[in-house]
Chain A
Amino acid sequence: MNMILPASVSATPNGTTRPQVRIVIVGHVDHGKSTLVGRLLHETGSLPEGKLEMLQAVSARRGMPFEWSFLLDALQTERDQGITIDTTQIRFRTRSRDVVLIDAPGHAEFLRNMITGASQADGAVLIIDALEGVRDQTRRHGYLLHLLGIKQVAIVVNKMDRVDFSADRFKEISDEISAHLIGLGVTPSAVIPISARDGDGVAEQTPRIGWYQGPTVVKALDALEPARPLEQLALRLPVQAIYKFDDRRIVAGRIESGHLSAGDEIVIMPAGKIAKIKTVESWPVTPLNGSHGAGRSVGITLDRELFIERGDVIAHAGATPRDTRRIRARIFWLHDKPLSKGDQILIRLGTRETRASVVAIEKAVDPGELSNEETTAIARNHVGEIDISLAQPIAADPYQENSRTGRLVIEVNGRIAGGGLVLSVDAGQRAVPIDIVPVESALRPEERSARYRHNGAVIWLTGLPGSGKSTLARALERRLFSRGGSPILLDGDTLRAGLNGDLGFSAQDRTENIRRLAEVATHLARNGHIAVVAAVSPSADDRAAARRIADASFREIYVATPAEVCESRDPKGHYAKARAGTLQAFTGIGSDYQPPVQAELRIDTSARSVSDATDDIERMLAETGILFDELVDLAANI
């Protein structure tokens, strides 16, 4: 039939426009995967010159009969043991496409390698020995194809020569494996009787299988389609990194589904922040126009500065992924130590990484066994369903809705230990509405900037109690207001009287106190105001978190008045109370204040008048791009 043709008929130089399809060959050990691949290469004229002769010579030297599988088992260790231990990739070409055959190991010991190989495939060939029939690894591989999301599967019943090409035996195996796969939601595209060693049914029908009317292996391979990028689904752009190599602030990532264009309104999940795509950046030509679809690695800039980090997912407003701390997943497990309830693990979903704990395990089974005995831990090479509680919220989709943002891997000790499909996501105790669609202000930040003659900012005054933070903050507020600006004072103690009234002074409550201050201040800054925050904020970590939230608009001022001066001032009487032992957890006495090392400005109010210090702050704000000297029509440049 000569269906797979060598390259001479291709109209275009190779590697340019031809579609490529990747096909993994899986099945039980010794059922003939490597033999089939070797045979396919021979039948299609794809062997490098001299390769066959060299391997025949090697076999002769070792006193072994030549096997087609030798073509693939290029590593010496594999020849010695006669089994494939890791994935091999072989390319050949048909009339209209390039085929990459992925030969995956069949031995249970090397399931991780089978998964590595199969996960790259568009379709699969599951091979079964006609004599041995369906074995545990056949079933396991079938199950894993389902978990890996491979829906196109052709079944090959090999070694038909050893059952005298019996149509009855073929039907028996065909029925068993079809029932198994259909039960998993995978419908085989074909079931083909062959003898890989002799060539029957590989590229040509032979009289010995004359009773079979279906396609040959080659024809079945040609019916498998290349996987297509998910352009029809909603936009999902997991953020890989933020680059500031020059004056651009580029959000980089690969579009996993959907498409985007400059001007699109987007939501950054899981935080739900909104922005517009200003430009799509590239190199050497930039910026790019038009629509960019799934599969593209892109870089975008946004119309406003907001905190965004690796692991966030960019989506379009109204079609966002879920924001969750609870996930249910169906997983396969590859680690030696079984996965148990209560285990601490690391989850990777898209580019997000988060610690997590296993809350519950259900339906843990060995997919190779016929009778499924459920256990409460997932052993190596077994599968199961788990509930996971995440240390931080993430953006995810159920896999039925989006296979790219609906799958995760589990890492143990820095090594991938398992993976699986997101069955459901659940807002959990946080009770976040599933479809939050933040409403954008009617005014653009640039319009406000043009009126106030300043950009939005968060001025964060940190220092010991009594160092002069509130005094400076009030003076700064007056100064900015008198030049036409819009300053707003956020005093730590004042907010503790209301918004933060539920918080005490434990480390945890202090952290939450700072987070809320930072969120409120950032909201104001995003809307063009200058939020002036006066808060002791003794923890360097908490201040770093505040800087992350406010991002580029953050300006930290360390009010570095010496401790003894602060204590002598004691405007609120706190030092006296603390010395008397009636005020607990007071920052100032002791060494629990962690001074900033990279503040934008440092002021010692014992050595500087309030007016001079305010000048210093004003100058710093002008130098770092918050205040403008001249009125310019910024809005014109949008």
Chain B
Amino acid sequence: MHLLNPDSAKDRLRGADRKSGATVEQIFADGRLPPPSMDHLDELEAQSIYILREAFARLKKLALLWSLGKDSNVMIWLARKAFFGRVPFPALHVDTGKKFPEMYAFRDRFGKEWDLDLKVEPCPSIDAVDPTLPPAARSAARKTEGLKWALTKYGFDGLIAGIRRDEEATRAKERVFSPRGLEGGWDVRDQPPEFWDQFNASVPQGAHLRVHPILHWTEADIWAYTKRENIPIIPLYLSKDGKRYRSLGDQDITNPVASTASSIDEILAELDGTKVPERAGRALDHETEDAFERLRVAGYL
């Protein structure tokens, strides 16, 4: 197990070391194209809304997984845009019971303010989880079990999840509509083709689909959009005593990174240069080469 040392989060760029050759060519010739009527964030938003509406039209019983983090908050915002103010399906929080107090306060406040149909589902105890997994991964796998319980209890055929391709290599291979097996498992070797925004929405009896409306966003996109739309965030993301959380999970398996960014603008400036992966503070990603993949194949987000 090798946890990344958060103090190594140097804001240093490899490019700066390279010989800056005498010529830096102008890549965009002026006037090559007229300015687009939609900017980058508009495009991301429009695509996510399209995906959310497709999911709502094609699946019978949907829920949105609300982890309380920056990504799922953006997702709820997008759902409110897609459906003109109200999210027409439940927001499901699979609660490990080990989140930060700030996260619970956020849930209680915005669950009401956003008029969400909030469903909180507890996770089973650690004993119910595959004992061969490394400790942090095993702890995180409780969430997978909690999710399975919730699926059985409510009979959802679609779960909307806020994962992104840029977070982690296995997530980059995800489909927007990703079929899961009866056990909630992900068969990465036999994913159906998906193109032209035509999605595979048929679910075998008893199985479910994961829907990923922000798969094409990046961490920086999330922050830039959060700022533009003025979406509330949990203060743990902002620097305090020289550290901040880039990604929020359970208290015991999430660590802050060194950062002085105390506003979204400063976060964006920081991300502009960083080489440290977003999930560096997530212990479970680093235990063994394949721990994260094993979790995902078993149905983790």
Which residues of A come within 8 Å of B, CB atoms?
A: 1-3, 5-8, 10, 13-20, 44-45, 47-50, 58, 72, 74-77, 85-91, 94-97, 112-113, 115-116, 119-120, 148, 219, 222, 225, 228-229, 231, 240-241, 243, 245-246, 248, 250, 252-254, 281-284, 286, 293, 295-297, 299, 310, 334, 348, 351, 407, 409, 411, 413-416, 419
Kindly list chain B residues whose C-beta atoms are within 8 Å of the C-beta of A250.
84
Q: Is A15 touching B40 in the complex (CB atoms < 8 A)?
A: yes
Contact of A13 with B191 at beta-carbon distance under 8 Å, contacts A2-B24, A19-B40 already known = no
C-alpha gap A167/B27 in the complex (Å): 28
**B71 CB to nearest chain A CB (Å):** 14
Kindly list chain B residues whose C-beta atoms are within 8 Å of the C-beta of A113.
191, 193
Contact of A77 with B21 at beta-carbon distance under 8 Å, contacts A17-B40, A252-B53, A415-B200 already known = no
Q: Does B37 contact A (CB under 8 A)?
A: yes
C-alpha gap A334/B4 in the complex (Å): 43
Q: Is A14 touching B271 in the complex (CB atoms < 8 A)?
A: yes
Q: Is A15 touching B268 in the complex (CB atoms < 8 A)?
A: yes
Contact of A299 with B84 at beta-carbon distance under 8 Å, contacts A20-B40, A85-B189, A240-B54 already known = yes
Kindly list chain B residues whose C-beta atoms are within 8 Å of the C-beta of A296.
38, 42, 46
Q: Is A243 touching B84 in the complex (CB atoms < 8 A)?
A: yes
C-alpha gap A534/B147 in the complex (Å): 53
C-alpha gap A310/B193 in the complex (Å): 23
Other A-B pairs, 5, CB within 8 Å; known A87-B172, A241-B57: A6-B14, A15-B224, A116-B191, A416-B193, A419-B193
Chain B 190-219 near chain A by CB (<8 Å), digits 1 or 0: 011111101011100000000000000010
Which residue from A16, A50, A284 sits with its C-beta under 8 Å from B39? Answer: A16
C-alpha gap A91/B33 in the complex (Å): 23
Kindly list chain A residues whose C-beta atoms are within 8 Å of the C-beta of B20.
2
- CB contact list, B36-68 vs A, under 8 A: 36-43, 45-47, 49-50, 53-54, 56-57
25 contacts between A and B (CB under 8 A): A2-B21, A3-B25, A10-B272, A14-B218, A15-B221, A16-B40, A20-B40, A48-B276, A86-B173, A94-B27, A112-B192, A113-B193, A225-B33, A231-B37, A245-B83, A245-B88, A282-B84, A283-B80, A295-B43, A297-B45, A297-B46, A297-B82, A407-B196, A414-B201, A416-B194
Q: Does B132 contact A (CB under 8 A)?
A: no
Which residue from B191, B275, B290 sits with its C-beta under 8 Å from A86? Answer: B191
- CB contact list, B259-276 vs A, under 8 A: 265, 268-269, 271-273, 275-276
C-alpha gap A53/B189 in the complex (Å): 28
Q: Does B125 contact A (CB under 8 A)?
A: no
Q: Is A6 touching B192 in the complex (CB atoms < 8 A)?
A: no
Q: Does B182 contact A (CB under 8 A)?
A: no
Kindly list chain B residues whose C-beta atoms are within 8 Å of the C-beta of A334.
193
Q: Is A95 touching B220 in the complex (CB atoms < 8 A)?
A: no
Contact of A116 with B194 at beta-carbon distance under 8 Å, contacts A7-B13, A241-B57 already known = yes
Q: Is A75 touching B188 in the complex (CB atoms < 8 A)?
A: yes
Q: Is B293 touching A75 in the complex (CB atoms < 8 A)?
A: yes
Q: Does B127 contact A (CB under 8 A)?
A: no
Which residue from B14, B27, B170 sits with its C-beta under 8 Å from A75? Answer: B170
Q: Is A409 touching B198 in the complex (CB atoms < 8 A)?
A: yes
**A515 CB to nearest chain B CB (Å):** 25
**B221 CB to nearest chain A CB (Å):** 4
Which residue from B47, B86, B200, B223 sits with its C-beta under 8 Å from A15? Answer: B223
Kindly list chain A residues whose C-beta atoms are within 8 Å of the C-beta of B119.
none
Kindly list chain A residues whose C-beta atoms are within 8 Å of the C-beta of B194.
116, 416
Contact of A88 with B196 at beta-carbon distance under 8 Å, contacts A6-B15, A229-B36, A245-B88 already known = no
- B16 nearest CB neighbor, chain A only: A8
Kindly list chain B residues whose C-beta atoms are within 8 Å of the C-beta of A253.
53
Q: Is B27 touching A3 in the complex (CB atoms < 8 A)?
A: yes
**B246 CB to nearest chain A CB (Å):** 13
Q: Is B83 touching A243 in the complex (CB atoms < 8 A)?
A: yes
Kindly list chain B residues whose C-beta atoms are within 8 Å of the C-beta of A74.
169-170, 172
Which residue from A2, A254, A283 sits with its C-beta under 8 Å from B85? Answer: A283
C-alpha gap A31/B15 in the complex (Å): 28
Kindly list chain A residues whose C-beta atoms are within 8 Å of the C-beta of B196.
119, 407, 409, 419
Q: Does B152 contact A (CB under 8 A)?
A: no
Contact of A86 with B37 at beta-carbon distance under 8 Å, contacts A283-B81, A284-B85 already known = no
- A14 nearest CB neighbor, chain B only: B220
- B274 nearest CB neighbor, chain A only: A49
Q: Does B18 contact A (CB under 8 A)?
A: yes
Q: Is B8 touching A49 in the complex (CB atoms < 8 A)?
A: yes
Q: Is A89 touching B82 in the complex (CB atoms < 8 A)?
A: no
Kindly list chain B residues whose C-beta atoms are within 8 Å of the C-beta of A112.
191-193
Q: Does B28 contact A (CB under 8 A)?
A: yes
Q: Is A13 touching B33 in the complex (CB atoms < 8 A)?
A: no
C-alpha gap A3/B193 in the complex (Å): 35
Which residue from A45, A97, A222, A245 sits with its C-beta under 8 Å from B13? Answer: A45
Q: Is B14 touching A87 in the complex (CB atoms < 8 A)?
A: no
Q: Does B166 contact A (CB under 8 A)?
A: yes
C-alpha gap A295/B42 in the complex (Å): 9
Which residue from B33, B82, B224, B289 sits with its C-beta under 8 Å from A228? Answer: B33
Q: Is A416 touching B192 in the complex (CB atoms < 8 A)?
A: yes
Q: Is B195 touching A409 in the complex (CB atoms < 8 A)?
A: yes
**B267 CB to nearest chain A CB (Å):** 9
Q: Does B143 contact A (CB under 8 A)?
A: no
Q: Is A293 touching B50 in the complex (CB atoms < 8 A)?
A: no
Q: Is B15 touching A5 in the complex (CB atoms < 8 A)?
A: yes
- A241 nearest CB neighbor, chain B only: B57
Q: Is A116 touching B175 in the complex (CB atoms < 8 A)?
A: yes
Chain B 164-187 near chain A by CB (<8 Å), digits 1 or 0: 011001101101000000000000
Q: Does B232 contact A (CB under 8 A)?
A: no
Which residue from B42, B54, B193, B273 sits with its C-beta under 8 Å from A7? Answer: B273
**B107 CB to nearest chain A CB (Å):** 21
Kindly list chain A residues whose C-beta atoms are within 8 Å of the C-beta of B83.
243, 245
Top 6 A-B pairs, shortest CB-CB distance: A414-B202, A74-B169, A6-B15, A119-B195, A15-B220, A45-B14
Q: Is A86 touching B188 in the complex (CB atoms < 8 A)?
A: yes
Kindly list chain B residues whose C-beta atoms are within 8 Å of the C-beta of A419.
193, 195-196, 198
Q: Does B19 contact A (CB under 8 A)?
A: yes
**A263 CB to nearest chain B CB (Å):** 19
C-alpha gap A265/B50 in the complex (Å): 24
